[in-house]
Amino acid sequence: MELLPLHKLFEIKYGNSFDLNILEECDEYSSDKVNYVSRTRENNGVSAFVHFKGDVEPFESGLISVAGSGNSVLESFIQNSPFYTGYHVFILRPLKAMSELEKLFYCYCIRQNQYKYNFGRQANKTLKDILVPKQMPKEFSKIDSKALNTLKARTVINKDYNLETKNWHTVKLTDLFEVSASSDELITKYSSGGTTPYITSSEFKNGISDFVDEGPTNNANTITANRGGSVGFFFYQPIAYLATPVDVRILTPKFEMNKYIGLFLTTILKKEKYKFNYSRKMGTDRLQKMQIKLPFKKNKPDWEFMETYIKSMPYSTSI
């Protein structure tokens, strides 16, 4: 396979390098909303929504954003809406017409070079010279790009919600969940290559570090919380699993939870992540003291709203 430096396929330039503080944030329903792309690896790189800055045209949709530094160096995404960028974000514009599938392929190729970089070793000077395939392999072209586009637009229910939080109520986590530690062995005690997920304190792949031969001991339809490691991440677990006893805690619902409610709650719970770090772990005691805000109806959490809100979101048919 012939390889070329990235700059032979893309025009590569710095983004706006806007500090978010100089922009006016808004919600995603604002008529002049522009996506703000930073170096985060979450939400397709979009970390905020801002009002259109009258003297600066946003970058057009369809371009690729690449983080040039930070812990998320080389995170690469196709931006499907007009956008501004924060610091150290590169913009890649194909030198010749590319399908969305081809752009996704090159995002994948760029990410495969992440092992060469870290927080102290940036890609700002070397991104243009990363070697990638001259063209996408033919077998990739069998993927139905029309099906991918259809997937984006599909929701379980066709309804728009304005997520108004000012009337939400505070609730103790222990009113909603039993908090416990796993009683499983460390991952080294199990045989890799099976079908049982083994959950650790990773922030990736729903916390799954491996699949093992041994059977699960923890129930599906629960939430795992990262006590240490990537502390503060929460994941809804749709199937039974094993988990490390060291840095994962298990939240077992005291109410009737389904996958939609579970995903709503994990998003709310992750908002508490800023309170914790490597030195301040999120252990059982702190979890039991945690409080979160939720939509309420008739003095109870409004589970129906949480479920329908997630069902109304793009990609919800794939959950």
Of 314, 317, 318, the residue nearest 156 (C-alpha): 317
Same domain assignment for residues 185 and 255: yes
Residues 228 and 140 in one domain: no
The CA distance from 71 to 248, in Å, is 22
If asked whether residues 204 and 77 sit together in one domain, one would say: no
- If one counts every other C-beta atom within 10 angstroms of the C-beta of residue 66, the result is 27
Residue whose tokens read 């304005």: 162
The length of the chain in residues reads 319
Phi first, then psi, for residue 42 (nearest 5°) are -100, 160
- We report the CATH number of the domain holding residue 40 as 3.90.220.20
Domain that holds residue 306: 169-318
Per-residue pLDDT of the chain (319 residues; tens, 9 = 90+): 789 999 999 999 999 999 999 999 998 878 899 999 999 888 899 999 999 998 899 999 999 999 998 878 999 999 999 999 999 999 999 999 999 999 999 999 999 888 888 666 788 889 999 999 999 988 777 776 555 555 555 788 887 777 788 889 999 999 999 999 999 999 999 998 899 999 999 888 899 989 999 999 999 999 999 998 888 899 999 999 999 999 999 999 999 999 999 999 999 999 888 888 777 888 889 999 999 999 999 999 999 999 999 998 877 887 8
Q: Compute the Cα dihedral for 148, 44, 270, 302 and give only its sign.
A: negative
> How, if at all, do strands 83-85 and 33-37 pair?
parallel
Q: Is residue 252 domain-shared with residue 143, that is, in the same domain?
A: no
- Give domain status of residue 160, yes or no: no
Based on the domain organization, do 64 and 189 belong to the same domain? no
Q: Which residue, among 1, 78, 93, 84, has the nearest Cα to 38 in the 3D structure?
A: 84
This prediction has a pTM of 0.60
146 and 214, same domain (yes or no): no
Total tally of structural domains belonging to the chain = 2
Residue 302 resides in a domain: yes
- Is residue 73 one of the residues assigned to a domain? yes
CB-neighbour burial class of residue 44 (10 A; exposed 0-12, middle 13-18, buried 19+):
middle
In a shared domain, residues 207 and 181: yes
Query: Closest Cα partner for 45 from 6, 11, 9, 73?
Result: 73
The answer as to whether 234 is a domain residue is yes
